[in-house]
Amino acid sequence: MDVGESDATVYRQGDVFAKCCQAPGVVELAAERDRVAWLAGTGVPGATVIDWLESSDGACMLTSAVPGVPGDALPPSAHGAAMRSLGSVLRALHALTDCPFERPLAAVIATAADVVRRGAVNPAFLTDEWRRLQPSELLDQVVAESPYVESVLEPVVCHGDACLPNVFFDPRTLEVTGLIDLGRLGVADRYSDLALTTIQLHDEWSADPAPFLDAYGLPEPDPRRLQFFRLLDPLTWG
C-alpha cells in the first residue's frame, strides 16, 4: 500500500493497481482517470484504465501496472542512459495535440495562493533558502515574475508532476516504460515539467541534467523560467 501527495490510497495486487478515495476526493480521482485513459490512446507509455467503481462512500480506479522500476530506484550506472530516454519521452509528451485538459498558469498561481492562505505549505518541499522566508513572501516572488513567464509562455501537454518516482524504466534497456500519477496532466508551459525534472535529477541523482536536456532538444533552457516553476510547484501542494 502506498499513499502519495493526494488523499487517495493505492493498493497493488499482481498487475493491477487500485487507487481509492473517500467521497470528497471522487471528483479529483475521476479527473485523473480521464487523463490516464486519454494518455493511453496517444502512444506515450503509461497505464490503462481497467475499471471504475463508485458509490456514495467514494470511488476506486483500477489500472494496469506499468512494468519496470521507478526512476528513483535506478542505480547511478543507469542514470546517463535513463536521462536520455526520459528526455525523448517528455519531448514526445509535449508534442501531443488535441489534449482536452488544461492547467492555465493563472489557475496554478491561484491554487498556490489558496495553499499559502490556509497555511498549508509543506516546508519539506522547500529549499533551505526558501524556508528562511514566509510562504507569502515566496508567493509574492511568483506573482512578481509571472508577467515575464506569461510573455514567453509555451503551452504543451505537460505531465504536471514529472518527478522521478512518476517515471518507470525498464531496468535492463533503461527505456521509459510508462508515466504514472497523471492527476495534473494538461496543457501548460513546458517549463512546468522541465523545471521539476531537472531539479529532481540534480537533487535525487546528483546528476548534471545535460543528457536529459540534449535528448529533449533544449540544451540551454531559460534559467529564469526554471527558477519560477521550481518555486511555484511546492506552493501548490497542500
Query: Could you give the residue numbers annotated as active site?
Result: 161
- Cβ(53)–Cβ(47) under 8 Å? no
Alpha carbon dihedral 216, 220, 190, 200, in 10-degree steps, equals 80
Distances (CA, A) of 182 to 131, 186, 211, 224: 28, 9, 25, 26
Owner of C-alpha cell 499513499? 3
What is the per-residue DSSP string for 137-181? Answer: HHHHHHHHHHHHHHHT--EEEE-S---GGGEEE-TTT--EEEE--
Q: For residue 167, what are the β-bridge partners?
A: 179
> In the numeric block, which cell numbers belong to residue 36?
490516464
Give the number of other CB atoms < 10 A from CB of residue 201: 24
DSSP-derived letter for residue 43 is S
Owner of C-alpha cell 488523499? 7
**Residue 217 — φ and ψ, nearest 5°?**
100, 20
Closest to 229 measured CA to CA, from 217, 221, 238: 221
